[in-house]
Amino acid sequence: MMRTKKKTYCAFCGKEIRWIRDKSSGKSVPVEPRCMCFIPDPNGQQIFIGLDGGARRGREVQDGLIGYHRHNCAMMPCHTILSDKEARNRCWA
Ligand SMILES: [Zn+2]
């Protein structure tokens, strides 16, 4: 019997996700399990989460940096990541 790598599922919607640790904040970011290639582009239409957990605007290409789409969960109280950052910004304001 084939054993595949242990999968992670979103606790809120039950979809398969991956976690990428954001090196700058130490928080883990939920992303879609499928990785893709992108190049950073300030005019890009999409946001990619790089392997270092940093979010970059860019566009999808055949060959480039490895990135993931953030898991935008409809079921998740999805303000957690942003509001933490906002709260910290407010702390320092
Ligand atoms: Zn979800």
Helix (H, G, I), strand (E, B) or coil at 30: strand
Give residue 48 CA to ligand 1 midpoint distance, Å.
17
79 alpha carbon – ligand 1 mean position (Å): 13
Residue ranges with CB less than 5 Å from ion ligand 1: 10, 12-13, 73
CB 72 within 8 A of CB 35: no
Chain-centroid distance, C-alpha 44: 16
pLDDT of 82 reads 55
Rounded distance, CA 70 to CA 17, Å?
9
Residue 50's DSSP bridge partners are 67
pLDDT mean across residues, the chain? 85
Using the mean position of ligand 1's atoms as its centre, give its distance from the Cα of residue 53 in Å.
18
Residue 57, pLDDT above cutoff 90: yes
Confidence of residue 42 (pLDDT cuts 50, 70, 90): very high
Q: What percent of the chain has pLDDT over 90?
A: 66
State in Å: Cα 13 to ligand 1 middle: 4
Question: How far is ligand 1, taken at its centre, from the CA of residue 77, in Å?
Answer: 10
Mean pLDDT of 21-26: 92
Q: What percent of the chain has pLDDT over 70?
A: 76
Each residue's pLDDT tens digit, 61-90:
999 999 999 998 888 664 555 555 655 666
Can you say how many angstroms the Cα of residue 62 is from the centroid of all Cα atoms in its chain? 20
CA dist 7 and 12 (Å) reads: 15
